[in-house]
């Protein structure tokens, strides 16, 4: 049910059998949701919203701004630029009736702002170009992440058992007790200092399987911009998740 007071932001109430306390969240679409335990009175939702109304409006405004940025992006292949390992690349989609399989050609150049790139995605008329670009970006991410892990692991003092690159929906990276590391391929679309911070974060978990003081001290000593990287990912997660939409 949707509730709204005279001066309160609109919000939806959801009951949860797993919730022990009432909590307030803002979805990626900018919708406010109050999660209540099954037996909590409905009035506690309004109390929670009223208490945190300023916080709620601020985060809803940020979500609206993110949605506006996504809505105003040029379509893929019509001017959209992707940051790939720190270098902006203009994407060009080229349909070719003589092709039987797709390919991606990368070209680098320089302009007044530094190095820039061009990605030419060639595809048959019968194949969509986005999956072709998706596969190429995953392979690029695999190479970049593998290189960064191999470079940083000795510095952190650990030896990962394996590295995998996936399209994780809830985490940017993870580390198992067995020493396996997993990363989202979309990190290659983030600035290099952000990718490095996630790599160091997961390497540090091989020494500290928690988020205690020793873990954060280790992570920040090898990735000094860790806090900045975490803020960047929170602010830009929607752009990364929908980069090829």
Can you give the pTM of this predicted structure?
0.81
194 vs 111, which has greater pLDDT? Answer: 194
Inter-residue contact 200 to 219 (CB < 8 Å): yes
Packing angle, helices 213-222 and 226-241, rounded to 10: 80
Residue 77: phi and psi, rounded to 5, are 90, -5
> What is the Cβ-side half-sphere exposure of residue 66, based on CA atoms within 13 angstroms?
24
Question: What DSSP designation does 187 have?
Answer: G
Query: How does pLDDT run across 121-175, given as a tens digit for each residue?
Result: 999 999 999 999 999 999 999 999 999 999 999 999 999 999 999 998 889 999 9
Query: How does pLDDT run across 58-99, given as a tens digit for each residue?
Result: 988 888 888 888 888 899 989 899 999 999 999 999 999 999
Task: Write down the residue that tokens 């109390």 correspond to.
Answer: 47
């Amino acid at each position: 049910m949707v509730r709204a007071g005279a001066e309160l932001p609109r919000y939806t109430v959801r009951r949860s059998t797993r919730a022990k306390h009432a909590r307030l969240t803002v979805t990626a679409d900018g919708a406010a949701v109050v999660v209540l335990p099954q037996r909590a009175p409905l009035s506690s939702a309004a109390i929670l919203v009223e208490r945190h109304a300023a916080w709620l409006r601020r985060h809803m405004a940020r979500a609206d701004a993110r949605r506006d940025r996504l809505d105003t992006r040029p379509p893929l292949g019509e001017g959209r630029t992707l940051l790939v390992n720190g270098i902006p690349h203009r994407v060009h989609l080229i349909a070719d009736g003589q092709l039987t399989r797709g390919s991606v050609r990368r070209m680098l150049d320089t302009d007044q702002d530094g190095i820039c790139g061009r990605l030419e995605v060639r595809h048959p008329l019968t194949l969509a170009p986005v999956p072709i670009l998706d596969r190429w970006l995953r392979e690029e991410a695999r190479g970049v992440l593998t290189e960064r892990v191999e470079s940083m692991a000795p510095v952190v003092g650990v030896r990962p058992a394996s590295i995998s690159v996936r399209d994780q929906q809830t985490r940017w990276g993870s580390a198992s007790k067995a020493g396996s590391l997993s990363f989202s391929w979309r990190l290659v679309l983030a600035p290099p200092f952000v990718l490095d911070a996630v790599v160091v974060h997961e390497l540090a978990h091989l020494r500290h399987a928690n988020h205690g003081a020793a873990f954060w001290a280790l992570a920040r000593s090898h990735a000094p911009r860790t806090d900045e990287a975490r803020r960047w990912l929170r602010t830009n997660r929607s752009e990364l998740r929908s980069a090829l939409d």
